[in-house]
Amino acid sequence: MILRVEDLETYIGEFHILQGVSLEVPEGKVTVVLGRNGAGKTTTLRSIMGLLKPRKGRIEFKGERIDGLPAHMVARKGIGYVPEDQAIFSGLTVEENLKIAMKGNRSGELLDKVLSIFPDLKVAWQKKAGSLSGGQRQMLALGRALVGENSLLLIDEPSKGLAPVVVEKVAEAIKEIKRQTTVVLVEQNFNLAQYVGDRFYIIDDGRTVAQGEMEDLVNNVNLQQKYLGISL
Ligand SMILES: Nc1ncnc2c1ncn2[C@@H]1O[C@H](COP(=O)(O)OP(=O)(O)OP(=O)(O)O)[C@@H](O)[C@H]1O
């Protein structure tokens, strides 16, 4: 397991938001985190990333404890985070956004790979990120996390606000990303989750309530109705 999260408890102010989240993330796979609005999915990613400090529990990355470390240290260990609101620099070009994210890596090999996954970015190379479409901005956010040579990516709802045809592109991109990097994906779009996911976790009311192979969830209508509000 590249990442283990055990019985995590996180407060936001006085609110006890996470009350026991556990995850085991196998290397080279996409682990999807599902759950209703407000269940605690984003809070889980932010806690792993060191943006929120958990009050209890432990987080191990490659066998080493990372809970309590500040976010820049967690990032340095090789965990990339693509938040819902896409951390990109609107005033900079696509090229500048990617080159900043490359840190010390100058080989260009990773950049070539990223541009082959996202050919749209090559076309928009000299455009300001702020002038891109929603789909292109999402691809730039994913591209930035990828060129940063991370061994784990935490991706929060990449399909949010995108048209179905663009969601398909994002899905294909995540399949490609999986060939290079382990992924933890928070996603409300069940079709996308099903298409790219290998394993799943369901979080409800700040707790892990179910886990398993994605295929088992696809076949378990009861579980889908109980926690995801999917009615068939
Ligand atoms: N700054 C905050 N202050 C108080 N409560 C917060 C704050 N941020 C989040 N919460 C609460 O924490 C709970 C979990 O939020 P979180 O964003 O982790 O949920 P989520 O599962 O990612 O849902 P969504 O899909 O709506 O983003 C929610 O009830 C939310 O209202």
Domain ranges of the chain: 3-228
| Closest-CA residue to 118 (of 97, 141, 102, 100) | 141
CATH superfamily of this structure's domain 3-228? P-loop containing nucleotide triphosphate hydrolases (3.40.50.300)
What rounded mean pLDDT belongs to the chain? 93
Strands of the sheet containing 79-82, edge to edge, are 79-82, 152-156, 182-186, 30-34, 199-204, 207-213
Instruction: Flag whether pLDDT at 107 surpasses 90.
Output: no
User: What is the per-residue pLDDT for 87?
Assistant: 82
Asked if the interface predicted TM-score (ipTM) of this complex is over 0.95, the answer is no
Q: Which residue has the higher pLDDT, 169 or 59?
A: 59
CA 206 – ligand 1 centroid, Å: 10
pLDDT band at 106 (very low <50, low <70, confident <90, very high): low
- pLDDT value at 108 more than 90: no
63 Cβ inside 6 Å of ligand 1: no
Strands (E), the chain: 3-12, 15-25, 30-34, 56-61, 64-65, 79-82, 152-156, 182-186, 199-204, 207-213
Contact present, 77 and 61 (Cβ < 8 Å): yes
Q: What is the pLDDT of residue 22?
A: 98
pLDDT at residue number 131: 95
Check pocket membership of 16 for ligand 1, CB cut-off 6 A: no
Atom 24 in ligand 1: which residue has the minimum CA distance?
37
**Residue 144: pLDDT over 60:** yes
Two structure tokens written together for 53: 């400090």
Residue 94 has pLDDT above 60, yes or no: yes
Q: How confident is the model at residue 98 (pLDDT cuts 50, 70, 90)?
A: very high
Given a cut of 70, is residue 171 above it in pLDDT? yes
State percent of the chain over pLDDT 70.
97
Pairwise CA distance, residues 176 & 127, whole Å: 24
Q: What long-range pairs does 108-115 form, CB within 8 A, spacing at least 24?
A: 110/146, 110/147, 110/149, 111/147, 113/146, 113/180, 114/143, 114/146, 114/147, 115/143
Checking if the pLDDT of 224 tops 60, the result is: yes
Q: How far is the CA of 101 from the centre of ligand 1 (A)?
A: 28
**Nearest in space to 172 (alpha carbons), one of 135, 130, 122:** 135
How far apart, in Å, are the Cα atoms of 122 and each of 57, 140, 158, 217?
43, 10, 20, 37
Q: Which of 17, 19, 48 to mutate to test the pocket of ligand 1 (most atoms within 8 A of CB)?
A: 17
40 in ligand 1 pocket by Cβ < 6 Å?
yes
Q: Please report the pLDDT score of residue 232 as a whole number.
A: 52
